[in-house]
Amino acid sequence: MITQNRWQHILGVARKAKLLAAKFKPDDPKFIEDMFLLGVLHDFGYEFAEDNATHAATGGAILKRAGYIHWHEVALHGDETIENMSDELFLLNCADMMTGPSGEDFTFTERLDEIAQRFGTESAAYKKCVLEVEKLKADKRYLKIKIAR
Ligand SMILES: [Fe+2]
């Protein structure tokens, strides 16, 4: 089930995705709208899959069936092993890692600290997120959307 906290996270990610999209492609209002929608849809798989491991694939499969153009990005979000992320997946992953579990506006560092507090620095969840953030920061597109704080 999607909890109240999760809804707040989802809305936070959608707004962050919109903000990052506006930095990335300021002259493309449709792209900005599409990124907001992708943020709205990215975690709804939790309604049908409780665990972290399967919510993305579950959501992606439902959206594929519905004919949603970015079902693939939903299915792959949060996977630190993905090479050649589309612009949409890159921005979605950045937005997800800059938003706390209740929609807080976080830096990558604050997000990682929060994950470390919840699961511990030795947890698979934390290690996976560290790798993901390293990959996002190393991506040349990161320079375009970096938020100075
Ligand atoms: Fe997710």
User: pLDDT tens digits, the chain, 149 residues: what are they?
Assistant: 899 999 999 999 999 999 999 999 999 999 999 999 999 999 999 999 977 779 999 999 999 999 999 999 999 999 999 999 999 999 999 999 999 999 999 999 999 999 999 999 999 999 999 999 999 999 999 999 987 76
pLDDT of residue 51: 77
CB 17 within 8 A of CB 38: yes
> Ligand 1 mean position to 29 CA, how many Å?
25
- pLDDT reported for residue 57: 96
Residue 146's pLDDT is what? 86
CA of 123 to the centre of ligand 1 (A): 17
Ligand 1 mean position, distance from CA 8 (Å): 13
Q: How far is the CA of 10 from the centre of ligand 1 (A)?
A: 9
C-alpha 55 – ligand 1 centre gap (Å): 7
Where do we find the tokens 């890159």?
A: 90
Q: Is 103 left (phi over 0), alpha (psi -120 to 50) or beta?
A: left
Q: How far is the CA of 91 from the centre of ligand 1 (A)?
A: 13
What is the whole-number distance in angstroms between the Cα of residue 51 and the centre of ligand 1? 10
Q: Find the 97 Cα to ligand 1 centroid distance in Å.
A: 10
The rounded Å distance from CA 137 to ligand 1 centre is: 19
Strands (E) located in 37-139? none
Instruction: Give the number of C-alpha atoms closer than 13 A to the C-alpha of residue 137, restricted to the C-beta side.
Output: 12
pTM metric for this prediction: 0.96
Residue 53 has a pLDDT of: 78
